[in-house]
Chains A and B, each alone.
Chain A
Amino acid sequence: DVKVTQSSRYLVKRTGEKVFLECVQDMDHENMFWYRQDPGLGLRLIYFSYDVKMKEKGDIPEGYSVSREKKERFSLILESASTNQTSMYLCASWADRRSAAQNYGYTFGSGTRLTVV
């Protein structure tokens, strides 16, 4: 019954490394999102995508990029990891606004806790 899968639950990377966080959804949703969650700051939107090969910056895109080559997969890339990118990363998907399924809100993955040392 897994709907949004994030490739890793825990990840430890070194400063300067290029990091790939993968997210796959099996609900045929058009919209996919990457958030990071930090204590006291809630969830902050990094990037989102409303269609294949389409991407839009969220509120904190600096230091990140994304890739959506297929509808079901949305990848977050940390070009050169830094310690201030240590965080919980959450991927989510959401049905198109024209779909009644949009009433069910976002479906989140279980999250990837990334530590950059």
Chain B
Amino acid sequence: SQQGEEDPQALSIQEGENATMNCSYKTSINNLQWYRQNSGRGLVHLILIRSNEREKHSGRLRVTLDTSKKSSSLLITASRAADTASYFCGNTGGFKTIFGAGTRLFVKA
């Protein structure tokens, strides 16, 4: 399967803590995207990191990419209850994006 593997499947932390989720693929990574999905809604784009980049920041988000390991990590710093959602990675090549199964993050107030 080309589907990305996300780890952990679920994560529960206290508000203020950092949350780290990982994503890996069996195929090479071209451009890696991270999305957030609130319950029962569509996905919202968070950040895109290109294959020639190693790290990218956006506000409280930090994404790293290791193309040799075919993996990426998303770090959310100083988490808030509003960060509770599912997070998906997507490996984009050409016109298509192959998504992972997602990590469910629950941030306790």
Contact = CB atoms under 8 A, between A and B. Distances in A.
Secondary structure of the A contact surface, majority rule: strand
B48 A103 contact: yes
B45 A104 contact: yes
Contacts of A42: 3-4, 88, 99-102
Secondary structure of the B contact surface, majority rule: strand
Interface residues of A, number: 28
A58 interface: yes
Interface string B27-46: 00000010100001111110
Contact of A110 (B3, B42, B98): B42
Given A35-B99, A90-B43, A108-B42, 6 more contacts: A41-B3, A42-B99, A45-B97, A50-B95, A106-B97, A109-B42
Interface of B: 2-4, 33, 35, 40-45, 48, 88, 90, 95-102
Q: When A and B form their complex, which 8 residue pairs have the shortest distance between CB atoms, in order from nearest? A: A105-B45, A108-B42, A42-B101, A43-B99, A108-B43, A110-B42, A42-B99, A105-B33
